[in-house]
Amino acid sequence: MFPAPIQKASPSAQLTYKLALPIALFVWLLPLLAIFMTSIRPAADINAGNVFGWPSQFQLIENYVTVFTTSDAAVYLWNSLRITVPTVIVSVALACLAGYGLAIYRGFRWALPLFFLFVAGNFVPFQILMIPVRDLSVRTDLYDTITGLVLFHAAFQTGFCTLFMRNFIKALPYELIESARIEGVGEFKIFWYLVLPLVRPAIAALAVLIFTFVWNDFFWATVLIQSDEYLPITVGVRSLNGQFVNQWQLVSAASLLAALPPVLMFFAMQKHFIAGLTLGATKG
Amino acid sequence: MTDVVVPPIAGSPAGARRRRSWYRRNRIALAPWLFLAPALIMFAIYVVAPIFQSIWISFYEWDGLGEAEWVGLRNYEDLLYDDRFYTSLKNNVIWLVLYMAAVPAGLAVALFLNQTVAGIRVYKSLFFFPFVISQVVVGLIFAWFYNPNFGIVGQVWEFFGARPPSILGDERYVTYGIIFAGLWPQIAYCMILYLTGLNNVSPDQVEAGRLDGARGWRMLWHVILPQLRPATFIAVVVTVIGALRSFDLIAIMTQGGPYGSSNVLAYYMYEVALSEYGFRYGYGSAIATVLFTIMLVYISYFLWRMWRDEREGR
């Protein structure tokens, strides 16, 4: 293990380490703590210049209720959910199929070029897609609809999901599939009854990752959505920032609301989340 | 889906049965295409085709509504004389260079946290927090911190009796201020990559190194870092891509200002293409093509590495 376990160090070094941990964490998360503290302050504190000190009064519930009653935050959050969940389902489903196609057929000569196509597409800058995708959405009446945004997100995220799925399926024992084929089991049955149950951990990892990516998307929502009634929370927070001018307690509360779902998701599915993110960081 | 790939044999006698047996005979050759078809079609429509369309549009002058006019390379010639383009390009280079600080910083945090004391798991996940949060929120937080009147930076400056600078309002500091905000989540990302990497460092080699008297920096450099190479590779790749994709923070914190001084290609392209003063799709596409070309260098390198690993691996 590196660095050497702290337990082998001198008692004073151990104490220093144990003290340094919470201090480092405090400094690291200071920006978040600051907006949390602000989000529970009364407006009077901010007007009086008490922005970073102890709040004169705790208004946790009042401030958050005010955000919901005076703005469209609830609609934005609901839209985010309506965009994110279908995207996750579609992109993961497509990737399961594609990953199987790319990983299982050894004689399939197009497997590697197509795999690289998905990988490369996953890395392109959004701007090179922006105008044609926007134009296509306008022409097909999908501009300014949630469906249009979902279709694009699902297609784009399929690249990353396929990369992930293909590698995961490739690592499964091949003899399993081969023996099923010799038994005469159909290809789709092998996929459905044999492979799909085995890739459940990969599905979980992808689901949390894609949820976070899509929930946090800002660019595509500004490009493909125009009406206030369809905006997700990321863009919504920006317009709230304009609406609540200098009411920092409300802006902070809205920001935290926007950040909360991915954070909860991360905490609930931490193991899967990290497994997905660090794919390839340990091998290769 | 079957109809897309299987050539029609309809019309021939006993077509249905023959079709089935034809499928049976070629099942192994056809099946991968059937499995791939939905993903490929979606990906082709929304990702692959738009890349070529964008390059094509960059040879036109087009406002998105009327008739597009062929102008050849004029959009690219115009770029050569566009000061705002050069500012954006320069800022992209600054982003690329400074963003790289996230890699060693992430390694440092990972080394700091790679211990087994009580509660360390919670520490690790709390350190990872900034990455999970939307960049929009990160941008809002830092914009507020930098505010000279009531931000934390202003308060620190005043504490020392100095007049606080307006970081986001000053052409000299603005890009650095935004990059600093961007480093916060990026360091968290690199940290988690390195933590996983450190988990897989072979204990035997560390022990062997210790017996040879390697400690501290020498151990890190000669024994640990070579084993962390895959983690470093991924960390560099995601950091480069993050730097070139920087858009959200700029849109939230400055919208490219003051006077375009914090612009990057990604944001400048958006500004030009969907400008309030009329859309300039052709010129925007030319900027996007330049950005894409820069990214292509990294994509090719990444694919080359993957290809090499595939060939060796299996």
B12-17 average pLDDT score: 52
CB A216 within 8 A of CB A262: yes
Whether residues B126 and B191 share a domain: the answer is: yes
Owner of token pair 């609809």:
A145
Whether residues B13 and B161 share a domain: the answer is: no
Phi (first) and psi of residue B60, to 5 degrees: -120, 165
What whole-number distance in Å separates Cα of residue A100 and Cα of residue A162?
9
Q: Nearest CA to A209 among A88, A79, A80, A81?
A: A88
CATH code, domain carrying B87 = 1.10.3720.10
Taking 70 as the threshold, does the pLDDT of residue B17 lie above it? no
B117-131 average pLDDT score: 89
Name the band, by pLDDT with cuts 50, 70 and 90, for residue B11: very low
Whether residues B15 and B118 share a domain: the answer is: no
B143-160 average pLDDT score: 78
Whether residues B36 and B116 share a domain: the answer is: no
| Tally of domains in chain B | 2
Stretch among A59-68, B22-31, B50-59 having the lowest mean pLDDT: B22-31
Question: Does residue B160 lie within any of the structural domains?
Answer: yes
Q: Do B29 and A3 touch (CB under 8 A)?
A: no
User: How much is the mean pLDDT over chain B?
Assistant: 86
B254-295, pLDDT tens digit by residue? 998 788 899 999 999 999 998 777 789 999 999 999 999 999
Q: Nearest CA to B177 among B250, B104, B236?
A: B250
Q: What is the pLDDT of residue B158?
A: 75
* Among A100, A155, A237, beta carbon nearest to B47: A155
A31-40 average pLDDT score: 87
Q: Do A128 and B223 touch (CB under 8 A)?
A: no
CA torsion sign for A53, A56, A59, A64 is negative
Whether residues B19 and B164 share a domain: the answer is: no
Per CB-CB distance under 8 Å, the chain B contacts of A3 are 111, 114-115
**Alpha-carbon separation of residue A174 from A64, A93, A105, A127 (angstroms):** 54, 22, 10, 40
A166-177, pLDDT tens digit by residue? 988 988 888 888
* Among B38, B48, B197, beta carbon nearest to A97: B38
Question: Does residue B71 lie within any of the structural domains?
Answer: no
**Sequence spans of domains, chain A:** 6-69, 72-277
* Structure tokens given for A15: 């104490």
Whether residues B11 and B146 share a domain: the answer is: no
Q: Kindly report whether the peptide bond that precedes residue B8 is cis, defined as omega within 30 degrees of 0.
A: no
Q: What is the pLDDT of residue B6?
A: 40
Predicted complex ipTM exceeds 0.95:
no
Question: Does residue B141 lie within any of the structural domains?
Answer: yes
Range of the domain at B8: 2-57
Name the band, by pLDDT with cuts 50, 70 and 90, for residue B7: very low
Which B residues, 79 through 108, put their C-beta within 8 Å of a C-beta on chain A? none
Whether residues B42 and B153 share a domain: the answer is: no
Q: What is the pLDDT of residue B10?
A: 45
- What are the residues whose beta carbons fall under 8 Å from the beta carbon of B91, sequence distance 6 or more? B175, B262, B263, B264
Q: Nearest CA to B43 among A116, A35, A202, A36?
A: A116
Question: What distance, in Å, lies between the first and last C-alpha atoms of chain A?
Answer: 21
Whether residues B91 and B210 share a domain: the answer is: yes
Taking 90 as the threshold, does the pLDDT of residue B58 lie above it? yes
Phi (first) and psi of residue B69, to 5 degrees: -110, 125
* Among B35, B47, B116, beta carbon nearest to A5: B116
Q: Which amino acid is at B178?
A: I
Can you name the residues that pair with B61 across neighbouring β-strands?
A: B69
What whole-number distance in Å separates Cα of residue B280 and Cα of residue B210?
63
What whole-number distance in Å separates Cα of residue A8 and Cα of residue A178?
51
What whole-number distance in Å separates Cα of residue B300 and Cα of residue B307?
10
Of the residues A18, A272, A282, the best mutation for testing chain B's interface (the one with the most B CB atoms within 10 Å of its CB) is A282
CATH topology of domain A72-277: MetI-like fold (1.10.3720)
CB A36 within 8 A of CB A30: no
User: How much is the mean pLDDT over chain A?
Assistant: 89
Whether residues B117 and B159 share a domain: the answer is: yes
Name the band, by pLDDT with cuts 50, 70 and 90, for residue A280: low
Name the band, by pLDDT with cuts 50, 70 and 90, for residue A52: confident
In angstroms, how far is CA B58 from the centroid of its own chain? 23
Name the band, by pLDDT with cuts 50, 70 and 90, for residue B118: confident
Q: Do B29 and A237 touch (CB under 8 A)?
A: no
Taking 60 as the threshold, does the pLDDT of residue B172 lie above it? yes
B142-148 average pLDDT score: 85
Question: What distance, in Å, lies between the first and last C-alpha atoms of chain B?
Answer: 31
Owner of token pair 């700029």:
B250
Q: Do B54 and A284 touch (CB under 8 A)?
A: no
Name the band, by pLDDT with cuts 50, 70 and 90, for residue B88: very high
Q: Kindly report whether the peptide bond that precedes residue A3 is cis, defined as omega within 30 degrees of 0.
A: yes
Maximum distance among all Cα pairs of chain A, rounded to whole angstroms: 78
Whether residues B290 and B195 share a domain: the answer is: yes
Whether residues B49 and B172 share a domain: the answer is: no
Taking 80 as the threshold, does the pLDDT of residue B233 lie above it? yes
What whole-number distance in Å separates Cα of residue B293 and Cα of residue B304?
16
Question: Does residue B68 lie within any of the structural domains?
Answer: no
Per CB-CB distance under 8 Å, the chain B contacts of A98 are 35-36, 38-40
Question: Does residue B154 lie within any of the structural domains?
Answer: yes
- What are the residues whose beta carbons fall under 8 Å from the beta carbon of A171, sequence distance 6 or more? none
Distance from CA of B133 to the nearest CA of A (A): 5
The H or E element that residue B26 is part of is: none
Whether residues B181 and B272 share a domain: the answer is: yes
Per CB-CB distance under 8 Å, the chain A contacts of B49 are 132
Stretch among A5-9, A141-145, A263-267, B265-269 having the lowest mean pLDDT: A5-9
Stretch among A113-117, A275-279, B2-6, B257-261 having the lowest mean pLDDT: B2-6
Taking 70 as the threshold, does the pLDDT of residue B16 lie above it? no
- What are the residues whose beta carbons fall under 8 Å from the beta carbon of B251, sequence distance 6 or more? A218, A219, A222, A238, B139, B267, B270
Q: What is the pLDDT of residue B18?
A: 60
Nearest residue of B to residue A271 by CA position?
A: B125
- What are the DSSP calls for B166-187, one per residue? -GGG-TTTHHHHHHHHHHHHHH
